[in-house]
Chain A
């Protein structure tokens, strides 16, 4: 099967089963793209997540664009983004044409199904915390970073809880450590 077609169908599947936004895709992408197809390495995937999260726009599409581009360049990024967008585009269009919002909202079976899916989606985001911690090769010197970042962001304190702030700090920190190392003043971090 053509790799472009595989890329599109993989992301179509990912888009069709992503409930609750970009972070919920990570587990599915790890399984489909990293474990099953071996298209990218897990630590490369972390770098792509950093890019996707630092830029504005819809996180899920940003992730798809970055991953598609890494695998097959610009054409890959177009196919991956389209694959991610199309399932929700088609479903919402069908709802807008054929149903009223009320029929969806008051559907008992659908509400019940989603009462089950929502807690599972949270589990799908906890799992990659652990796999990505391994891929990031955390040591006792760096393990405090994700802990502080997670704590500060979840406290929801406005600007100090903005993810962008920590991305900037992380980038500056990485650069700073490297710069100090370059100048040979390698003191204990």
Chain B
């Protein structure tokens, strides 16, 4: 049973000290779960690869997966879906709860002082910064892994076309049955997946 407390403790720490989200947290997660020998380095690399091929935040994906496999890896008596499920749940809750309460507390605090000049002033300074943060997230993702993992020019051009087309579809309205409609981002993701399948699968 000790492994569950260790997992909870490790994921609480990840939840508290992991800033920046996603891949910025990755090295912290790696140290916390590979160093104690709960999973192998290879399994960790697999989890990252799976996270890139499934929806959802990588922090949640890793907590769920590691929580499932770690108990049986450490103690063979704990193999079985029930023990794995328990591990998945405690890890996921542990990684989520600290920031959940922090966000909730901060939001309530800010709402209570909604009308204060200081809070308004702080947010007027923050808004331009947030625009920059979103822009930097976009720039950082325009990398080799996302656009041409195999280093081929054709792949790069295809990716740029998909990116530009997806942008136009999501950003500009198109006339449809006499009304101006914008495509839903989810629909655009599905279309991009379909395009990828048609282009690369054969």
* B-binding residues in A (CB < 8 A): 13, 15-23, 26-28, 31, 35, 43, 46-53, 55-62, 65-66, 69-70, 74, 77, 81, 84-85, 87-89, 91-93, 95-97, 101-102, 104-105, 108-130, 132-133, 135-138, 142-143, 145-150, 153-154, 156, 162-164, 166-167, 169-179, 182
Known: A57-B99, A62-B21. 16 other contacts (CB 8 A): A17-B55, A47-B126, A55-B103, A56-B102, A58-B99, A65-B107, A84-B56, A88-B56, A92-B50, A102-B46, A105-B50, A145-B131, A146-B129, A167-B129, A171-B126, A174-B124
Contacts A57-B15, A116-B197, A146-B132 known; A171 to B142 CB distance under 8 Å?
no
Count of chain A to chain B residue pairs whose CB atoms are closer than 8 Å in the complex: 385
Check: B1 CB closer than 8 A to any chain A CB.
no
B residues sitting closer than 8 Å to A (CB atoms) are 15-23, 25, 43, 46-47, 49-50, 52-61, 64-65, 68-69, 81, 84-85, 88, 92, 95-96, 98-100, 102-104, 106-108, 110, 117-118, 120-142, 145-147, 149, 155, 159-160, 162-167, 170-171, 182, 184-186, 188-189, 191-197, 199-201
Instruction: Provide the main secondary structure of the chain A interface.
Output: helix
Interface of B is mostly: helix
Can you spell out 22 A-B residue pairs with CB atoms less than 8 angstroms apart?
Answer: A55-B99, A56-B17, A56-B99, A57-B18, A58-B96, A77-B103, A88-B55, A89-B64, A89-B92, A92-B50, A96-B65, A97-B84, A120-B192, A122-B138, A123-B164, A124-B170, A125-B141, A127-B171, A142-B128, A145-B129, A170-B129, A173-B125
| A19 with B99: CB separation less than 8 A | no
B49 & A105 in contact (Cβ 8 Å cutoff): yes
Enumerate chain A residues within 8 angstroms of B85, measured Cβ to Cβ: 93
Nearest B residue to A89, CB-CB: B64
Is there contact, CB below 8 Å, between B16 and A61? no
Closest to A20 in B: B141
B173 to chain A, nearest CB (A): 11
Instruction: Chain B residues near A17: list those with CB within 8 A.
Output: 55, 185-186, 189
